[in-house]
Amino acid sequence: MINWDYLETLTQCYCEYHLAGLEMAAEKYEKNIRYQIAYNKPFEVERCGLYVALPENEALGRAAIDEQKNMAAAAHLGRKERYSFECAAEFGHSYGQDYEDVFWGIKRSLMAGMNAQVLHGASYSGMQLKGAEWPGYEGFGKYVSNNWNRTLSIPHARACMDTIARLNAIFRQTAKVDCAILRSRYAETGLTDDFSGYPDGGCLTNHGYSYEFVTEALLELPVCKVEDGILDREGVAYQCLIIMPTDKVSLGCLRKLQKLMEQNLPVVWIGEKPQYASFYSQWRTEEQQNIWSECLEAIWNDARLLHAQDYQQVPEILAEIGVLGNVVLDGSMDLLTASRETAEKNRYYVLYGYNRVKVTQDMPNPDEISVSAMYCQGTTKGSYRRPGCVSRRKIPVRFRGIGTVSICDPWNGTSYPLDFQSDGKGYLTGTIEMEEDEMLIFQVTGQDNKKEKSAVGQEQEAKAEISFDTLELISFEPNSEEDTSFLRSGFAADSRLIRLNRLLPWLELEKELIGFSGKGIYHGKIVLAEKKAGIYVLELGEVSDTFTVVINGKTAPFPDQVMKRGDVTDLLQKGENDLQIEVVSNLYNHLFSEKSCCMERIPIPYRPRKYGIWESTYKKVALRFFSI
């Protein structure tokens, strides 16, 4: 208790005299503060997020979704435009991070409430420092993250950044979160499992409920008023408050809970009755202990308080009292949901098929080249790759709202209406297909939005033959042997032509290509037996890193760089179609080798990256057709 009194005092001083002082000083000059404010410090992280204009979190070894949520409630209740994220920070991935990996981190951060990113890693270009070698001076010594101003294809990078911008535009709308979870603690590292903050193993999220963490201090904000059983109705609109098992609770928190229950906010308390107050300042005398005990008994025995024996019972209790999520799922798949409301009261719903990140202390993962090497603990993040169609399944889904449901493609800004029907109870119901690491964005409008295209229906494989004949390889290199600057570099004037018998990564086509970096242009054909009314999607199996598709001399809308597919409907014709795909690598294989390992400071092995197009067991090249 005395320790908590001390840590509470530290938090108050840090927030009021350090963070608030910095913000006030910045505002005098029409600036504001963006600050990674509280991880690895003995403070209440959630509260600290209130005191700067742009609270920021970090990715380095901190992939756990719950830990990325720690300042989301402060951002939403504090009416902050942005909750920032230093993303893509990883050991051992300098020049080697691909965009699929970057989007993996960004998608998890978005689902945790963040809506702004700072790409970690950028080096000076053109500095003529003694001993500097091409591509130039590296501020992080080739061992942390990437060098994001050394991207080989500016058009590809721009298109990826446009996609992130579209995602942020959605996530900067008003957040609508189903559950507020009360949490009290004064330290965190972020180096934990996904559901370390609310350890239910994903039960709540897999049933469609979204949640974030609040504290006693956050609940005292003026916006935390209850209207019609909703906390902060015009803002984040929590439908309930969940209290995790605890043996201690503060007197102030008990009194706040009592007030919220009187205002008809559903409160679910998991586990047994607490035994004592959080702070010694509330427990020093017998009179204080009696006051605390009387307040606890009044709440604990209140008929309005909902008691749950364990975490798994919470979704059932919420459903019984009619508290349903903005998205309702059946719990059969690992999914995260998010809801955002526009000024016009339309809704965006986002579903993400997350993969679980697990951490084991003192058990390094031999396949992990990031956290295990630095922190000497195991994590599944570094060895994760999207599994493909083996994880794909159909799931029923319900969205709160009325009107039309459309699916939105953030990679090119297009959208199509879907076949969803009203259930007469305020929800739109339908069936979707998705797989692990896939993010789907849906828009619900209060009116018919079926423009020139009808609702998307049944998926099937199109009757088509896809073949690749040749691969044209063009290396990326400095303009001269003496140049040490990336800015004076580009694709070579000449190319190397390889005839293809099958699709393989470049380093497996010829032994000499193990150190190749640049771009490859694949030439082939799509022979389509018939062109029917519907949507045609080209799937390319495994692709690394970025790619574009050209059919019959016309460039298709920018394809999904994670799912490796793109809409080619408007470019295809019946019969033979000329197919050209440009794939651009990064510089990793060219710069590093077994003899010149980049990880002198950290024992991370060099592992050649695969680039190009190839097929694996669950990722094949195919043309899919969706009826309308």
Task: List pLDDT tens digits, range 83-112.
Answer: 999 988 877 778 888 899 899 989 999 999
Residues 607-621 pLDDT 10s? 788 999 999 998 999
- Secondary structure (3-state) at 319: helix
- Secondary structure (3-state) at 213: strand
Quick check: 375 pLDDT over 90? Answer: no
- What is the residue whose two structure tokens read 């199509």? 416
Quick check: 382 pLDDT over 90? Answer: no
**Separation of alpha carbons 137 and 131, rounded Å:** 9
For the chain, the distance separating the N- and C-terminal CA atoms, rounded to the nearest angstrom, is: 64
- Which residue(s) pair with 211 in the sheet? 179
Residues 161-187 pLDDT 10s? 999 999 999 999 999 999 999 998 887
Quick check: 259 pLDDT over 80? Answer: yes
pLDDT of residue 361: 65
Least confident of 21-35, 85-99, 213-227, 268-282: 85-99
Q: What is the DSSP letter of 248?
A: B
Q: Which residues contact 103 (CB under 8 A, 6 or more apart)?
A: 160, 561, 562
Q: Which residue has the higher pLDDT, 109 or 373?
A: 109
**Separation of alpha carbons 572 and 554, rounded Å:** 10
**Separation of alpha carbons 441 and 407, rounded Å:** 6
Mean predicted confidence (pLDDT) in 371-397: 72
Quick check: 553 pLDDT over 90? Answer: yes
**Beta-carbon neighbour count of residue 143 at 10 Å?**
19
Q: How confident is the model at residue 40 (pLDDT cuts 50, 70, 90)?
A: confident
Quick check: 3 pLDDT over 80? Answer: yes
Nearest CA-CA partner of 446 in 341, 553, 362, 290: 341
Token pair for 335: 């999914």
**Separation of alpha carbons 105 and 93, rounded Å:** 14
**Separation of alpha carbons 473 and 270, rounded Å:** 60
Q: How confident is the model at residue 626 (pLDDT cuts 50, 70, 90)?
A: confident
Q: What is the CA radius of gyration of the chain?
A: 27
pLDDT of residue 447: 65
Q: How confident is the model at residue 595 (pLDDT cuts 50, 70, 90)?
A: very low
3-state helix, strand, coil in the chain (%, to 5): 25, 30, 45
**Separation of alpha carbons 366 and 356, rounded Å:** 18
> Which CATH code, of 2.20.25, 2.40.160, 1.10.10, 2.60.120, is assigned to 460-627?
2.60.120
**Separation of alpha carbons 282 and 280, rounded Å:** 5
Residues 389-425 pLDDT 10s? 889 999 999 999 999 999 999 999 999 899 999 999 9
Quick check: 377 pLDDT over 90? Answer: no
Length of the chain: 628
Instruction: Determine contact, residues 188/41, Cβ cutoff 8 Å.
Output: no
Instruction: Determine contact, residues 120/84, Cβ cutoff 8 Å.
Output: no
Mean predicted confidence (pLDDT) in 546-550: 98
Residues 267-280 pLDDT 10s? 999 999 999 999 99
Mean predicted confidence (pLDDT) in 1-27: 96
Q: What is the 3-state secondary structure (H, E, C) of 333-392?
A: CCCEEEEEECCCCCEEEEEECCCCCCEEECCCCCCCCCHHHHHCEEECCCCCCCCHHHHC
Quick check: 434 pLDDT over 90? Answer: yes
Q: How confident is the model at residue 598 (pLDDT cuts 50, 70, 90)?
A: very low
**Separation of alpha carbons 244 and 253, rounded Å:** 13
pLDDT of residue 161: 96
pLDDT of residue 131: 75
In the chain, the amino acid numbered 125 is S
pLDDT of residue 470: 97
Q: How confident is the model at residue 132 (pLDDT cuts 50, 70, 90)?
A: confident
Token pair for 230: 């909703």
pLDDT of residue 628: 75
Q: What is the 3-state secondary structure (H, E, C) of 477-495?
A: EECCCCCCCHHHEEECCCC
Question: What are the residue boundaries of the structural domains of the chain, listed by start?
Answer: 337-457, 460-627
Quick check: 452 pLDDT over 50? Answer: no
Least confident of 294-308, 365-379, 441-455, 493-507: 365-379
- What is the residue whose two structure tokens read 């190839």? 614
